[in-house]
Amino acid sequence: MKAVLLDAASLGDDVDLAPLAAAVDELVIHQHTAVEQCVARLTGAQAAICNKVVLDADTLAALPGLSLICVLATGTNNIDSDAAARQGIEVRNITAYGTASVAQHTLMLMLALANRLPLYQHDVNAGDWQHSKSFCLMTHTTLQLDGKHLVIVGQGELGQRVAHLAEAFGMRVSFTARPGNERHDQRPTLAQLAPAADIISLHCPLTEHTRHLIDQAMLSKLKPGAILINCARGGIVDDGAALAALRQGFLGGLGVDVLPQEPPSQGHALLTALQDKLNLVVTPHNAWISPEARQTVVDMTADNLRQT
């Protein structure tokens, strides 16, 4: 079997791709691939390996010899799955490869925002501590995690790992009903839990039921000072509404690792807001990028290739 890896650069340059090569007869590696290059590069291949390259219906129709697509991620939204199914092309993804890495990142955001790290860093950079009459700054009231209520949307492996870490800090954890399935789910809904939440952390997929799950109406249900963390998908939070709540002092902190468009080549309001004095952290979709997690991506994809 010939396989073509379309966007190896998405894995970084410090992972071992040997497991992929060992799983097939021939492996061709491209660092980056534009949509218009896909047909030429995949012609003659039986397997396509990609992370964020879009394989749409027109592209797949031009590749009658393709029988397998291995996605280097959990989400398969870049693949026209209906078109693949019509052509008999199997689409295989991977799950739970970055649980430890993303959970650690989530706790990093939680701790930074609870301790008002962006605000205090701003003060130190501005010279406020150097010119203080006291030995410390207490300008911004911090949030002690012990005894606080963490509400998690998404009770999969990642959500459960975040809960386990949060409980080590003495937090009380609640999981919401799955958005879109509230009528058949005995767990409380996010709307029911939101008023008592000190922190909300999102670990759910982006679907028709979760798009703008956190909007102005949901934000208005939160207690003043609550913290919001999104390490799931851009689009689950109405970023404009969340930023407005943060500027108004109603939202106590906002941490996001994802934006609706990535990379945000056209800019984004949250990126502009980083210049202001806000309890805001934006990271570049890198919660998953520990070397261990990225190597697991390769190893799990090699397993998918061998299952032919």
What residues are labeled active site? 233, 262, 285
Phi, psi of 162 (to 5 degrees): -60, -40
83 vs 283: CA distance, rounded Å: 34
Task: Please list, in sequence order, all residues whose beta carbon lies within 8 angstroms of the beta carbon of residue 235, skipping any fewer than 6 positions away.
Answer: 206, 211, 212, 260
Element containing residue 5 per DSSP (H, E): strand 2-5
**Residues 55, 68: Cα–Cα separation, whole Å:** 12
- Closest by CA to 3, choosing from 51, 86, 69, is 69
The helix/strand/coil state of 41 is: helix
Dig out the tokens for 45 from the structure. Answer: 């291949």
Cα gap 31→285, rounded to integer Å: 19
Q: What is the CA radius of gyration of the chain?
A: 22
Backbone torsion region of residue 267, taken as left when φ is above 0, otherwise alpha when ψ lies between -120 and 50, otherwise beta: left
Q: How far apart are CA 27 and CA 48, in angstroms?
A: 10
Sign of CA dihedral 187, 192, 108, 265: positive
> Using omega within 30 degrees of 0 as the cis cutoff, is the peptide bond preceding 188 cis?
no
What span, in angstroms and rounded, lies between the C-alpha atoms of 47 and 259?
Answer: 30
What does the alpha-carbon distance between residue 157 and residue 73 come to, in Å, rounded to a whole number?
Answer: 15
Count the neighbouring beta carbons within 10 Å of the beta carbon of residue 282: 20
Residue 25 backbone dihedrals phi, psi, to 5 degrees = -80, -35
